[in-house]
């Protein structure tokens, strides 16, 4: 299996070189500064991970995934310096030779960085270089500057929109997606991504313009998974539980049956099925639930740990059940520069309709500073947790005072 895999790697590398080398040999050589190459590789590695995740969950089909991946590889080759030190402008053959050698190596390194080598031959995990938020943001700003020079590059606008969304810069993501939509034929995935970013920029609500964009996406492709998932959420928020179920069941026919997305949709469908027939005649306890379905208070960072955090580090503030699954019931993001800060968590911040604050009498509230920006706890993160508190408590104090080991 391993030998066959690497044979295909070689064949694809040769095909890529056949596409790249003639263009390099035909044009004049140019040298670029290698400054920022590390950040470039990090950006593309994160975006490749996101593409692979979208493929695994069914958000992207194999054809769309392959096209997007090739576009990322093309942009990476444009960004990373390939000229040899001391080479003159006429050293085209040397540049081509450098690419011929570098391309297979870069491809192999990218696979080792973002692929799954363990699926071929188990090996101990390596230690990657830590990439700072400042480096990532610098790379995104370079892409934004490039788009000002080449505003008709639709794929560039899409990539910029996704990059801003990853950085939680949703207003900029909306602007990038808007530029892409104006310059491209109707595309369901693009419209769904645009709707998602627009909803996040206007307080996490899909009502209004996002809802219209979702409807447009479904007209273009009735089986687009992200558009179906968002349409189901819109219907659920309107208490149209049958409509929500219809959207989610259609999406279930498209996503891999054993994927996390499929499991989440099944849970959401089950939750909607329980609510059918109850919204028109809720009992007094149900009416009172939303008022208590929130916890609020303040989060601060212990002075003893202040030196271990940077102003741009991400802060996740969350509530989770006292017992049972540790999946958060509600989550919000801040930056270390915002601390100390007030917070309020409620059902609108739920990760899934099947698990909300309103379904629990007691919760644990916590805050975590993530160096990587990943919500999953990792060694080196800084964290603070409360004991069990009642849902509806508005005087919660969370102090981030522990380093995760």
Domains, the chain, with CATH or none? 2-119 (no CATH), 185-275 (1.25.40.10), 288-403 (2.60.40.1120)
**What is the pairing mode between strands 314-321 and 362-370?**
antiparallel
Residues 6 or more apart whose Cβ sits within 8 Å of residue 78? none
Is the pLDDT at 105 greater than 90? The verdict is: no
Is the pLDDT at 239 greater than 70? The verdict is: yes
Count Cβ atoms within 10 A of the Cβ of residue 71 and give its class: 0-12 exposed, 13-18 middle, 19 or more buried. middle
Report pLDDT digits (tens) over 318-374.
998 887 667 788 889 999 999 999 999 988 887 666 678 888 888 999 999 998 877
Query: Of 27-36, 52-61, 161-170, where does the model show the most confidence?
Result: 161-170
Averaged pLDDT of the chain:
74
Sign, Cα dihedral of 390, 391, 397, 399: positive
CA distance 244 to 222: 15
CB atoms within 10 A of CB 295: 26
């Amino acid at each position: 299996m391993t030998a066959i895999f690497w044979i295909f790697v070689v064949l694809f590398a040769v095909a890529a070189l056949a596409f790249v080398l003639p263009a390099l040999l035909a044009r004049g050589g140019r040298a670029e500064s290698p400054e920022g190459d590390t950040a470039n590789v990090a950006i593309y590695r994160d975006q490749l991970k996101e593409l692979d995740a979208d493929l695994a969950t069914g958000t992207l089909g194999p054809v769309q995934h392959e096209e997007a991946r090739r576009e990322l590889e093309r942009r990476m080759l444009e960004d990373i310096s390939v000229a040899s030190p001391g080479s003159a402008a006429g050293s085209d053959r040397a540049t081509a030779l450098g690419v011929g050698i570098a391309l297979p190596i870069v491809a192999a390194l990218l696979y080792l960085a973002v692929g799954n080598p363990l699926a071929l031959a188990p090996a101990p995990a390596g230690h990657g270089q830590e990439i700072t938020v400042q480096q990532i943001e610098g790379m995104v700003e370079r892409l934004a500057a490039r788009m000002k020079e080449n505003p008709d590059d639709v794929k560039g606008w899409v990539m910029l929109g996704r990059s801003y969304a990853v950085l939680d810069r949703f207003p900029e993501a909306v602007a990038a997606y808007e530029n892409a939509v104006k310059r491209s034929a109707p595309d369901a995935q693009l419209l769904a991504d645009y709707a998602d970013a627009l909803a996040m920029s206007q307080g996490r609500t899909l009502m209004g313009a996002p809802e219209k964009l979702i409807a447009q996406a479904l007209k273009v492709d009735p089986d687009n998974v992200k558009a179906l998932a968002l349409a189901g959420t819109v219907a659920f928020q309107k208490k149209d539980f049958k409509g929500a179920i219809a959207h989610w069941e259609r999406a279930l026919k498209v996503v891999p049956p054993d994927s996390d997305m499929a499991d989440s949709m099944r849970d959401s469908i089950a939750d909607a099925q329980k609510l059918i027939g109850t919204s028109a005649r809720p009992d007094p306890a149900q009416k009172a639930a939303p008022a208590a379905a929130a916890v609020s208070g303040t989060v601060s960072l212990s002075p003893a740990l202040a030196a271990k955090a940077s102003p741009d580090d991400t802060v996740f503030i969350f509530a989770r059940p006292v017992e049972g699954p540790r999946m958060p019931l509600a989550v919000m993001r801040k930056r270390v520069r915002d601390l100390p800060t007030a917070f309020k968590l409620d059902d609108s911040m739920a990760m899934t309709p099947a698990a909300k604050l309103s379904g629990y009498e007691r919760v644990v509230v916590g805050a975590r500073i993530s160096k990587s920006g990943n919500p999953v706890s990792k060694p080196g993160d800084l964290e603070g947790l409360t004991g069990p508190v009642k849902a509806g408590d508005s005087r919660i104090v969370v102090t981030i005072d522990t380093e995760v080991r």
